[in-house]
Chains A and B, each alone.
Chain A
Amino acid sequence: MKQLPVQNTQPAIEISDAELLTLKNGMQLYLLPANEFAVMRLTLLFRAGSSRQTIPFSASATANLLAEGADEMTAREISEQLDFHGSYFDVNTDRDYVYISFAMLSKFVPETLRVAEQLLLHPTFPEEEVETYRLKRKQRLKIERQKVDVRAREAFARAMFGEEHPYGQCFDEAAYDHLTREELVAFYRQHYTATNGFAVCSGRTGDKERKALCALLEQFPTAEPTPRPTFPAINQQREVRLKHEGAVQSSIRIGRLLFPREHPDFVGMQVVAAALGGYFGSRLMQNLREEHGYTYGVISAMVNFEREGYLAIATQVGTEVTEEALKEIYNEIERLRTEPLSEEELQLVKNIMTGEMMRILDGPFGIADVTIENILCGRTNRVISENVERIRKITPEEVQRLAEKYLRREDLVTVVVG
């Protein structure tokens, strides 16, 4: 057999800082030029996620209905123009933010930005579109909630933060009936402003593109930053079990409330999460899938919100082996707390994490995604090499110490649906 070739496992991982332009209205535009590509992507972020809403579903509905009609273009014209130029428009709402992206061919930048201007700055939220939306979403949510996985995700958020907490809340589909056009207009006016978000652009961005971007983004109104809502105290439930008629698999979520990304132990806990269930050969994957065949997959990761962060483990297992699987998961967590990882296993985890970072950074759109994450934590792209350095320096003793401190059995939240 031929020998394993020598491996370079310490590749340098760094990307340059984004160029920041502060526009006349206060809007911040970050540029990541990559002129060798004939494409461009513009992403806007606003602090307009569901934790900012007072009426259920109004945050996501506002974002999702932006393209359904504007002052000078109907919904049909908007979609026609985007489709005609092969441009992609995408919105995504999470608990804290709304993300709005336009991906386009460089040759169709002016045409795409003209549509962007209409739907970003002059949306009308037509009554009949709101009505269709309510109908379709209700049906979709009903279908979604037939899946054990979706029910587990929702129950887990409730158990972790409490039913009243904006990070834990889930609403009945009937709440869509109370969604009005007026509410969407008000939500849009309040949150989609120059001072309540920022923009990131990557790909080919020469002088022409810059001018066009500034001309578009400068039109957002300047407003007082919206006040940070006060969150109620977190109210956890340690264990929740829900029955799901006819399920052949149970969905399991186990987690521990920790801290957001700014915390000095966040990166260390990412290493712990990776060792536990962050890759194909992880402890949980080895145990539940490779040794026992209980599951098709299991994952653990650190999840980051603006104000909180937690470690979560997620899997679906055969209903008949649910109890065994739970026991094995707790055992694997306990093993991390009581024995240090071998040097070799830790080296593997480190290499996987750094390789993963390289893969995300391959291509202009991935670089933009990482830059956005960094901006949200108030950091420049230098934090990437700092984090890589931090990962490369961590010792088995430190991993054990972190697991010991943060993953005590009595602090874990467990949810099973099945």
Chain B
Amino acid sequence: MSARRPVSVTLRVEPGSDLPADERAAVLEAVQACRSLQGSLLPVLHAIQDRLSWVPPRAVPLIAFELNLSRAEVHGVLSFYHYFRQTKPGRHVVYLCRAEACQASGAVALEAHAKRRLGVDFHGTSADGRYTLEPVYCLGNCACGPSLMIDKELHAGVTPARFDELVAE
């Protein structure tokens, strides 16, 4: 009788085993919270972004594995929607409205001012890591533009001076 035990060889890398612990936990929590929903991929991506402020591309294999989707399907959805971020943002995200009603109220000048003030173009993060600037196409505040939203806080009638106050806070 041999005392040798069978040797097991892992041929497949467990999806998500290379993720940092917080990202892995966020993905698994998000999947757990949304698994019972029909067509759950968007709710899962929202839940991940709510927790991490972005959806790391390296989490795609784990999301795909957990939802029984292909990585291509998850990447396809993640990259289709403007709101989902594949890069880590600054501490706050400034969503600046570019749409017509805000244009009519001075949004073009505000946009130029915001880019200058933060030293970034759209999708960029200020050098101090505080603000990421994103364009948005309507915040539903069209009678009182120009509008912007910082994280989930909406602001109306934003002049360049008001913008400076908001980002100084």
Q: Do A and B bind each other?
A: no
Interface residues, chain B, with chain A CB atoms under 8 Å away: none
Q: Please give the residue numbers on chain A whose beta carbons come within 8 Å of chain B beta carbons, in ascending order.
A: none
